[in-house]
Structure 1
Amino acid sequence: MTPQARREDLISAALELFGSRPPEDVSVDDVVARADVSRPLFYRYFASIRELRVAALRSVTDGLIDRLAQRAEGTRTERLRSAVRAFLDVAAEHRAGYVALLRSGSVVATSETNAIVDEVRNRAVEVILADAGITDPAPLLLATLRCWTAVVEGTLLTWLQDGDLPAVELDAWLVDQLLAMLEVTARHEPRGGES
């Protein structure tokens, strides 16, 4: 196995474990057992379990950013729903890691992981603006889009932790939230979307 493939194998093992328990509960011994490698081999690729957690969470967010960049077919609303579904799919696939990453007080939530989350938020805003053809957004529009990403994250946490929200309705509901927010913003921003 190449060094890159071995590193990815360790990350995959960690992500599998994160699917069933919070990342802070996963140890080096758990990862090496899942990957069927020795502890010394683990330390050849990662200095600590913390470094592996960050790399694993980075791989999740990189995958999400890649999926956000893919253009779905259909109307602007349909494309936006597709982007929201990407969030839902990735969050569900990596449930424990995603919850730990966004939950305040988690040992996984550090300045480094917060910066990773911010990349996803910023990319989501960029995708929406690019899809609308807006290159110079008005401050109120930018604030609206950033607030909406917080709504999406809060909704996903509620969905993942409580399980009370029906997943099949979440993408439409979240897109309707954004459309309503944009309508209010347009009433308060006479210059329109661009400054």
Structure 2
Amino acid sequence: MSPEARSDELISAALELFATRSPGDVTVDDVTARAGVSRPLFYRYFRGVGELRLTALRRVVDGLLTRLAEVGGDSPRQRLCAAVTVFADVAEEHRAGYVALLRHGSAVATSDTGAIIDEVRRRAVDLILTETEVADPSPMLLTTLRCWTAVVEEAMLNRLREGDVPKAVLGEWLVDQLVAMAEATARHDPGRATTSGFRRLERKD
């Protein structure tokens, strides 16, 4: 097996474990047992489970960003709703790891993992600005969009813990919240026409 394939095998084993257990609870022995390799072989590719955790998160985020770039739909609203569904799918696929990484004060959250997660948040803001055709967002509007990404994250966490919001309505519900937040911002940010592009996201029925 090539070094690249062996490394991928260890990352895949880690992701399988992170789907059901907090990354902070996964040890080198857990990963090697799942992958069917020895500890010395593990350390040939990674300095420790922390490095493996970061590499696995990078793999997940790269996949998420690729899927976000591929979302389809006939309207900006449909595409943003589809993007929310992609987030929900990824959160479900990596349930325990997702909860651990976003939970306040999590032992597995570091400056490195935070930087990777912030990349996703920035991509979400860029996606909204593209779909609403807002080229020059005001500082208040940017703050609003960043707050909305926090709403999405908390909604995903709560859905994983409580299961109280069906995936079928998740996107519509959250995009409606985004429109309402943009309208509220416009009332306090006069002269910036912050709502004009967000009318593209309003429900048509």
Mapping of residues 2-151 of structure 1, within 5 Å: 2-151=2-151
User: 2: distance between equivalents of 1:168 and 1:71?
Assistant: 16
User: 1: distance between equivalents of 2:73 and 2:19?
Assistant: 31
User: 2: distance between equivalents of 1:187 and 1:67?
Assistant: 34
Partner of 1:73, secondary structure, is coil
Provide the aligned length of Structure 1 versus Structure 2: 194
User: 2: distance between equivalents of 1:131 and 1:173?
Assistant: 17
Deviations 1:145-170 (A, max 9, x none): 10100000011111112223222221
User: 2: distance between equivalents of 1:122 and 1:193?
Assistant: 19
Indicate conservation of the 8 Å contact 2:67/2:86, yes or no. Answer: yes
User: 2: distance between equivalents of 1:12 and 1:136?
Assistant: 41
User: Which residue number corresponds to residue 166 of structure 1?
Assistant: 166
User: 2: distance between equivalents of 1:191 and 1:173?
Assistant: 26
Unaligned runs of 5+ residues in structure 1 are none
What is the letter of the counterpart of residue 191 of structure 1?
R
Moved more, 162-171 or 118-127: 162-171
User: 2: distance between equivalents of 1:159 and 1:118?
Assistant: 21
Deviation at 1:188, TM superposition (A): 2.6
Percent of aligned pairs with the same residue? 61
Deviation at 1:43, TM superposition (A): 0.5
RMSD value over aligned CA atoms?
1.4
Q: Pick closer, same or farther for the CA change 1:71–1:170 going to 2, 3 Å.
A: closer
User: 2: distance between equivalents of 1:66 and 1:184?
Assistant: 32
Indicate conservation of the 8 Å contact 2:10/2:35, yes or no. Answer: yes
User: Which residue number corresponds to residue 199 of structure 2?
Assistant: none
Unaligned runs of 5+ residues in structure 2 are 196-205
Q: What's the TM-score, normalizing by structure 2?
A: 0.90
Indicate conservation of the 8 Å contact 1:29/1:39, yes or no. Answer: yes
Q: What's the TM-score, normalizing by structure 1?
A: 0.94
User: 2: distance between equivalents of 1:126 and 1:86?
Assistant: 16
Indicate conservation of the 8 Å contact 2:13/2:35, yes or no. Answer: yes
What is the letter of the counterpart of residue 125 of structure 2?
V
Deviation at 1:132, TM superposition (A): 2.2
User: 2: distance between equivalents of 1:74 and 1:114?
Assistant: 33
User: Which residue number corresponds to residue 198 of structure 2?
Assistant: none
Indicate conservation of the 8 Å contact 1:27/1:49, yes or no. Answer: yes
What is the letter of the counterpart of residue 151 of structure 1?
V
Deviation at 1:24, TM superposition (A): 1.0
User: 2: distance between equivalents of 1:57 and 1:161?
Assistant: 21
